[in-house]
């Protein structure tokens, strides 16, 4: 079926290092959304990208949507302990609903 794949599944970094998670779809997405789930918490919406090749920034976070609208990435510059959590991408491969990637769990060594 239509899937949204996300890698890596886990990432451990030293505080101050950069972090990137990647999201790939087998079909073109009309939009891509990113969510963050803190440990013990619920997913919280971060951003939505709609246009081909779109790049958006939120402080140290940079989000990209691929030219073909089949892939996306989230890059965090100079991680901080507050960045700990699981990051999910989600896209609507068809018209019906969002499909979530498996998530990337980020842990940080202070």
Partner 1 sequence: EAQVTQNPRYLITVTGKKLTVTCSQNMNHEYMSWYRQDPGLGLRQIYYSMNVEVTDKGDVPEGYKVSRKEKRNFPLILESPSPNQTSLYFCASSLFNTGELFFGEGSRLTVL
Among 20, 48, 62, 77, binds partner 1 (CB under 8 A): 48
Residues in region 91-110 near partner 1 by CB under 8 A: 92, 95-103
Q: Is 82 helix (H, G, I), strand (E, B) or coil?
A: helix
Distance between CA atoms of 22 and 35, rounded to whole angstroms? 13
Of 66 and 101, which CB lies nearer to partner 1 in the complex structure? 101
Whole-angstrom distance, CA of residue 4 vs CA of residue 93: 8
Would you call 83 helix, strand, or coil by DSSP?
helix
Q: Is residue 7 near partner 1 by the rule CB under 8 A?
A: no
Interaction site with partner 1 (CB under 8 A) = 6, 9, 30-31, 33, 35, 41-45, 48, 88, 90, 92, 95-103
């Amino acid at each position: 079926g239509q899937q949204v794949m996300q890698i890596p599944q886990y990432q451990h970094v030293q505080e101050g290092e950069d972090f990137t998670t990647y999201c790939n779809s087998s079909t073109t997405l009309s939009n891509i959304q990113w969510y963050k789930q803190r440990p013990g918490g619920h997913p919280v919406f971060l951003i939505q990208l709609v246009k081909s090749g779109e790049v958006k920034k939120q402080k140290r976070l940079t989000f990209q949507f691929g030219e073909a609208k089949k892939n996306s990435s989230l890059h965090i510059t100079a991680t901080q302990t507050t960045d700990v959590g699981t990051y999910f991408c989600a896209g609507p491969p068809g018209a019906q609903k969002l499909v979530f990637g498996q998530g990337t769990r980020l842990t940080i060594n202070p």
